Amino acid sequence: MPVTLFDPIQIGPLHLRNRIFMAPMTRGRAQADGTPTAIMAVYYEQRASAGLIVTEATAVSPQGVGWVNAPGIFTDAHERGWRAVTEAVHRARGRIVLQLWHMGRVSHPDFHDGALPVGPSAIAATGETVTPLGKKPYVTPRALAKSELPGIAADYANAARRAIAAGFDGVEIHGANGYLVDQFIRDGSNQRDDEYGGSIANRWRFPLEIVRAVIDAVGSERTAIRVSPVGAYNGMSDSDPIATFRYGAERLSELGIGYLHVYEQLADASAADAPPRVLPHLRKAFRGPIVLNGGRDLASGNAALAEGEADAIAFAQKFLANPDLPERLRTNAPLEQPRYATFYTPGPEGYLDYPTLAER
């Protein structure tokens, strides 16, 4: 019998009841200072039948902040707010890990009393962002000095320690979608000429220092990372994604982390503009569990598992709109459609009001 979405899976110390994971989704429902709110506990508890919940991206430090009403994990109040979330999910027999976030160059001076956001190089992302003062174009970041890097790695380690203290089952470093870790990895945003830029090994140096700092803080089995090798969001690019991410997967495999989460959009491989498929290379390079995300449904998710491409499938928008997604997939029930207008708006509307099958 081929493996299916409904089979359990062991990830490090965690016995997970199915392979239907909830992908990380920023929802902007925290307080302005990043403290999680009571409705966040309800939202995650509603989705506790996931094999594993990966939370929305959560800032590791004041410098890492840059999204209106996104949560943090660097104060006692943050830690207390998250404890209510983990307790609610655990009461419902769910499992939940926290996604650790530093936005790097795609933050904005409005979040930092006028100071510039930071990145590997002084290269601006293209496009606009939203700050507490409205829509603004991205600014050119300040290139980090080498001497600042150990402090940022320590911020990740402290955030990971706080996450475990708040009851999380582990942490996932956000290395995807054009935020600080990804900005170091890919050569479109990293043009440093010291040992943190240039070669693939140099571009992975700081990301791997962060991973090791988090492992030292909470253990390798509770540490994971998410990557998006060909994702273009936030103005990202790399001249050789297969080589770049194969190298990273090899090093991460040696470190024995809990899982590798890969965002690779399901695409028509025969299309002229289809990006290269990186996942098969990561599968060969990384010995641990691989979580795959991007446009999957019941059929394509099961196919990816049966073919051995990945060990679990993460669903984002389908989980946003269907709190009981595993049950709906198991019974092949119709799915609710996500409402885009309320993805990031404050309050319970478009957040807590998606019905379960029983409530329809």
Ligand X SMILES: Cc1cc2nc3c(=O)[nH]c(=O)nc-3n(C[C@H](O)[C@H](O)[C@H](O)COP(=O)(O)O)c2cc1C
Segments of the chain assigned E as strands? 9-11, 14-16, 20-22, 53-59, 96-101, 118-119, 128-131, 134-137, 142-143, 171-175, 223-227, 259-263, 290-293, 312-315
Which of residues 71, 294, 326, 350 is near ligand X by CB under 6 A?
294
Does the footprint of ligand X cover residue 174 (CB under 6 A)? yes
Is residue 354 part of the annotated active site? The answer reads no
* Dist. CA 223–CA 119, nearest whole Å: 23
Which of residues 5, 57, 98, 249 is near ligand X by CB under 6 A?
57
What residues form DSSP beta bridges with 9? Answer: 16
Are 115 and 188 spatial neighbours (Cβ–Cβ below 8 Å)? no
Does the footprint of ligand X cover residue 49 (CB under 6 A)? no
Report residue 232 as tokens: 């273009």
Does the footprint of ligand X cover residue 24 (CB under 6 A)? yes
* Dist. CA 239–CA 164, nearest whole Å: 37
Are 44 and 53 spatial neighbours (Cβ–Cβ below 8 Å)? yes
State in angstroms the smallest separation of the CB of 157 from ligand X: 20
Which CB, 54 or 217, lies closer to ligand X? 54
Write down the catalytic residue from 138, 179, 259, 351. Answer: 179
Which CB, 256 or 295, lies closer to ligand X? 295
Nearest by Cα to 29 from 62, 67, 73, 84:
67
DSSP for residue 40: H
Dihedrals phi, psi of 293, to nearest 5 degrees: -140, 150
Contact characters 99-138, ligand X, x per CB under 6 A: x---------------------------------------
Return the residues of window 308-337 that contact ligand X according to CB under 6 A. Answer: 315-318
Return the residues of window 176-235 that contact ligand X according to CB under 6 A. Answer: 176-177, 226
Category of 170 on φ-ψ map: left (φ > 0), alpha (ψ -120 to 50) or beta: left
Which of residues 25, 96, 106, 278 is near ligand X by CB under 6 A?
25
Does the footprint of ligand X cover residue 295 (CB under 6 A)? yes
Does the footprint of ligand X cover residue 293 (CB under 6 A)? yes
Report residue 302 as tokens: 């099961």
Pairing between β-strand 9-11 and β-strand 14-16 as defined by DSSP bridges: antiparallel
Contact characters 260-279, ligand X, x per CB under 6 A: ---x----------------
State in angstroms the smallest separation of the CB of 240 from ligand X: 22
Does the footprint of ligand X cover residue 28 (CB under 6 A)? no
State in angstroms the smallest separation of the CB of 335 from ligand X: 12
* Dist. CA 10–CA 7, nearest whole Å: 10
State in angstroms the smallest separation of the CB of 319 from ligand X: 8
Give me the active site residues, please. 179
Q: Which residues bind ligand X (CB under 6 A)?
A: 23-26, 56-57, 99, 174, 176-177, 226, 263, 293-295, 315-318, 343
